[in-house]
Structure 1
Amino acid sequence: MKLLDKYIGSTVLMSVLMVTLIIVGLDATFAYLTELDDLGGNYGAGQALIFIALTLPRRIYEFMPVGTLIGCLIGLGTLANTSELTVVRAAGVSISRIVFAASRPVIWVVLLGLLLGQFVVPQTEQFAQSERARHLYLGESITSIAGYWYREGGHYTHIQVVQPNGVMYGISRFIFDDSNNLVQTDFSQRAIYQGDHWVLEQVRQTRISKDHTASERYQTLRWDNTTITPDVMSIVVLKPDYLSISGLYTYATYLETQELDSSSYYFSFWKKVLQPATTLVMVFIAISFIFGPLRSVSMGQRLMAGIIVGLLFHYAQQFLGHITIIFSIAPLMAALVPLLVCLFIGIYLLRRV
């Protein structure tokens, strides 16, 4: 029985790895072609290629559930086409045993995904985004194609480039009084973190009062009394789906303290927490398809079914993520719905076998 488990598991694992590699390769290729439209400044084709290479861990993490589904369909479908699954079932091996054999190697894929999402993806993605922004930065105060906003009470800060080493470029600050009147603005070419404060360089500052304005220039200016730190900015510069689980929870709770909307971050948090279960449910769906409606169809039809189900699951998550923000639905429920629907479909199909 151990030999049979190993054979089924290795077949499924090789198919999952192959499919994931193909999907990630196609996605990276199309992403690189898209990046070629944004070339400019010091951002050339070589820098675009490096950017895509740095985003590969994130793409692997994103496509793991879909790759697992399609890979299981192909791996188990191969065994079904050669009648090996029929022989296994005729030998008295239960479907639950086959589920266990197919799921066991996927657990290693799940663990790899957790490690990527928690430790690798946030680091590589931040470095990729910062290098891309740095090469595109032209020294302007605010542009429409780049930058990040950060609010602290009546202080609004826009930053063009954030680097992981505690350096920022293109810092625009807007300070409002208690009556929401703009009283001061400044723009700095660069800011360097010094442990407990920032040092702004090449500063143009303007103070605004009711009857006049005054402008000054500084070579350097100390920036105190701010919660902006390199650790905080490493979270701000990334999309919710690119953050680690701990980073998502930390920033979501911070947004709540600032009375800002945190639903998108909580939704991404629960989606990442549930991704191991999602990946295993994809295996369950694949097995239910193989023993159910796809037991006697061609490999092309199985592949098409896997792509359709994977896309439906992906877009259902995206749709519910937006619904969460618009209608204030609990993020946990929104993340659970696609998972539970797939699980119930798999149970229903297996009960019919």
Structure 2
Amino acid sequence: MRRINTYLMRAVIGGSLVALLLLTLLDWVFAFLAEIDSVGHGHYGLAQAILFTLYTEPQRMYTLFPTAVLIGSLLSLGNLAAHSELIAIRAVGVSVAGVVRAALMAGIIMIVVALPFGEWVGPEAARMGQALKVAAESGQQVVREGSDIWARDGDRYIHIDHALPGRRLMGISVYTISPVGHLRLALHAASARYGDKAWMLHDVQKSVFDDPERVQVEQLMTMKTPALISPRLFDLLDTQPGEMTLPALAQYVGYLKRNHLDASRYELSFWQRFTTPLSALVMLMLAIPFVFGSQRSGGAGQRLFIGIVVGVGFYFLNRLSNQVGLVFGLAPLLSAMLPLGLFLFVSLFALRRLR
């Protein structure tokens, strides 16, 4: 039994890795073609576009992981079925449940390897790619760590605590330095929003250092300025959920809720971090009925094709559920779990019919 389990696990893992590689290559090609439209903005050329898509590919690869597991397990186990190896395995007393257990053990091993990759490597690489794109398109020096942003614009150094959707900023500090390296102006604002071709700052403290022995401090409820950061640069700096680790994402969701801001997009991404690995296990369970079903009829290729369509359908249904949930204000947990629960029910129903 140990040898049979090892053999089945190796087949599932090997097939899944091959499928993931092929899906990743295809996804990178489409991502690069989509990025061509940005080529020519500032110093953003083909080389930068290639690097940007390579940096952001690990994040997309992680989202393709469940689909790759389904397709890979269908192909690998289907190959065993085509060579009557599954029949031989059943003949020595291995039940359908035993095959499912071996496949799930392989899935758990893949999840253990994929989780650090998806939670740390992917977000960190995506941040590096975004920083590369920002610097190339805007021509400004930008440093980003989590939600904190430092930008340089001439003699001004700008720090932003959070960049929120809708061209809103929270916790802005602007420091203007003289040519000899002295601080000339320090400006702090609780929040800012862009509109009518200018930034409107709120709760502003402005400190002017014209005289080395005296500082002029001014408190303002609001302040309008056209020169903070360009809207184009803001759009590039907008905090994306996929660029944040799970702890950072949880902290950011809490921050948005405490400030009565819309956190649905980030909360949805938070729950998706849990549903993605679980989806891989559900896809493995869903693959078994297709494989054993192909043994009982001559339509093995047709059944495998249907299984591949189901995997791609799950990917798009998951995205559709997320978008519908955001538009209609559904609970993020429900939006993230609905496709998973539906396919889990289908897989359990199909497995029960095999017994």
TM-score, length-scaled by structure 2:
0.74
Tell me if the contact between 1:245 and 1:273 (Cα under 8 Å) persists in the aligned partners.
Answer: no
Alpha-carbon contact 2:294-2:303 (below 8 Å) kept? no
Alpha-carbon distance change, 192 to 238 in structure 1, aligned in 2, over 3 angstroms: closer
Q: CA deviation at 1:327?
A: 2.5
Does the C-alpha gap of structure 1 residues 262 and 293 become closer, same or farther in structure 2, counting only changes over 3 Å? Answer: farther
Counterpart residue number, 1:105: 106
User: Measured at CA, do residues 192 and 257 of structure 1 come closer, stay the same or move farther in structure 2, by a change above 3 Å?
Assistant: closer
The one-letter amino acid of 1:330's match is: A
Which residue of 2 is the match for residue 214 of structure 1? none
Checking the alignment, whether the CA contact within 8 Å between 1:270 and 1:331 is kept in structure 2 is: yes
The Cα of 1:248 is off from its aligned counterpart by 2.1
- TM-score by length of structure 1 reads 0.75
CA distance in 1, matches of 2:36, 2:66: 29
CA contact (8 A) 1:134 1:161 kept: yes
Match of 1:168, SS state, is strand
The answer for the alignment partner of 1:347 in structure 2 is 348
Alpha-carbon distance in structure 2 between the residues aligned to 1:320 and 1:348:
22
1:190-210: CA deviation from partner (whole Å, max 9, x where unpaired)? 4369xx99553479xxxxxxx
Asked if structure 2 preserves the Cα contact closer than 8 Å seen for 1:292 and 1:350, the reply is: no
In structure 2, C-alpha distance between the alignment counterparts of 1:31 and 1:125, rounded to whole Å: 13
* Matching residue of 1:169: 151
Distance change (3 Å), C-alpha of 1:339 and 1:192: closer
**Residues 167 and 241 from structure 1, CA distance in 2 versus in 1: closer, same or farther, beyond 3 angstroms?**
closer
Query: Is 1:252 equivalent to 2:233 in the alignment?
Result: no
CA RMSD of aligned residues (A): 3.1
Is the CA contact 1:292–1:352 (under 8 Å) kept in the aligned structure 2?
no
- The aligned runs of 1:188-337 (5 Å cut-off) are 190-191=157-158, 198=173, 200-201=175-176, 221-224=185-188, 237-292=238-293, 296=297, 300-337=301-338
Which deviates the most, 317-326 or 59-68?
317-326
Distance 1:37 1:65, change over 3 A: same
Residue 73 of structure 1: CA displacement?
0.5
Contact 1:127 1:164 in 2 (8 A): no
In the alignment, which residue of structure 2 is the partner of 1:62?
Answer: 63
Distance 2:239 2:158 in 1: 19
Q: Helix, strand or coil: the match of 1:56?
A: helix
Q: Which piece of structure 1 moves more, 244-253 or 93-102?
A: 244-253
* Offset at residue 113 of structure 1 (A): 2.3
Alignment correspondent of 1:36: 36
User: What is the alpha-carbon distance in structure 1 between the residues aligned to residue 323 and residue 273 of structure 2?
Assistant: 16
Show the counterpart of 1:126. Answer: 127
CA distance in 1: counterparts of 2:173 and 2:286, whole angstroms: 52
Secondary structure, counterpart of 1:169 in structure 2: strand
- Checking the alignment, whether the CA contact within 8 Å between 1:32 and 1:49 is kept in structure 2 is yes
Q: Distance in 2 between matches of 1:197 and 1:327?
A: 32
The change in CA–CA distance for 1:296 and 1:242 in structure 2 (over 3 A counts) is farther
The corresponding residue for 2:79 is 78
Aligned residues: 296
Identity of aligned residues (%): 33
**Partner residue in 2 for 1:25:** 25
Residue in 2 that maps onto 1:10: 10
